[in-house]
């Protein structure tokens, strides 16, 4: 009599192969999900950097060196505060001065987020500002002391959180942008 069935050893071997295959597929799916999350996180950080660059470029075009005796532009390595006339340059000085408002950009080094004005914190790795006074780069700038807006603002951004100070690291920034001041209003009465 010939038996036509699987032995216990064959069944256990088939189950072992099936479990191994499921484990490999689960690991692959988990790894794929993690990769997708890293890509989405990087895109969020790039969008935050783009938002900072866009807001600063627009505000610098209409910035003022002083506003009612206060500095119209001040900043250090992690913070920029400026007064802008409006989102876009106006046709006349009077129209521009009538719509003046402040803009604050603050980078939180502990949370690795940047906040533009009163908006939601946006994720970012590291961020650093530097300011050119017409002769050299400075770590801080005050337009009231200088009597003018900075000639340029350097924005350097790292997408990954850094365990060390990025200014001392050999790792170049992921994004570097030099914003020049093209506005005509240097000092307001």
Among 86-90, 126-130, 176-180, the range scoring the smallest mean pLDDT is 86-90
- Looking at beta carbons, which pairs linking 174-178 to residues 24 or more positions away fall under 8 Å? 174/125, 175/46, 175/49, 175/53, 177/53, 178/152, 178/153, 178/154
More confident residue, 60 or 187: 60
Of the pLDDT bands very low, low, confident and very high (cuts 50, 70, 90), residue 96 is: low
Q: What is the pTM of this model?
A: 0.69
Q: How many whole angstroms separate alpha carbon 156 and alpha carbon 148? A: 23
Structure tokens at 60: 């610098």
* Pick from 62, 141, 134: nearest CA to 102: 62
pLDDT of residue 186: 45
Using an 8 Å Cβ cutoff, are 73 and 141 in contact? yes
Please give the share of the chain, as a percent, with pLDDT higher than 70: 81
Domain boundaries, the chain: 34-180
Residues in the chain: 189
pLDDT of residue 164: 54
Using an 8 Å Cβ cutoff, are 152 and 179 in contact? yes
* Pick from 50, 81, 77, 49: nearest CA to 149: 81
Q: How many whole angstroms separate alpha carbon 49 and alpha carbon 8? A: 62
């Amino acid at each position: 009599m010939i038996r036509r069935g699987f032995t216990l050893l064959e069944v256990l071997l088939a189950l072992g192969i099936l479990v191994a295959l499921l484990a490999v597929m689960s690991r692959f799916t988990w790894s794929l999900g993690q990769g997708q999350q890293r890509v989405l996180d990087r895109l969020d950080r790039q969008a935050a950097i783009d938002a900072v660059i866009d807001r600063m470029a627009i505000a610098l075009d209409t910035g003022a060196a002083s506003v009612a005796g206060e500095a119209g532009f001040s900043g250090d390595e992690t913070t920029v505060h400026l007064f802008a006339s409006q989102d876009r340059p106006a046709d006349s000085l009077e129209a521009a001065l009538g719509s003046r408002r402040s803009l604050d950009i603050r980078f939180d080094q502990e949370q690795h987020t940047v906040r533009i004005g009163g908006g939601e914190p946006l994720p970012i790795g590291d961020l650093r500002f530097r300011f050119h006074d017409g002769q050299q780069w400075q770590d801080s700038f005050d337009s009231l002391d200088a009597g003018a807006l900075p000639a340029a603002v350097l924005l350097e951004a790292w997408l990954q959180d850094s365990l060390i100070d990025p200014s001392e690291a050999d790792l170049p920034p992921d994004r570097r942008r030099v914003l020049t001041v093209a506005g005509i209003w240097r000092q307001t009465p």
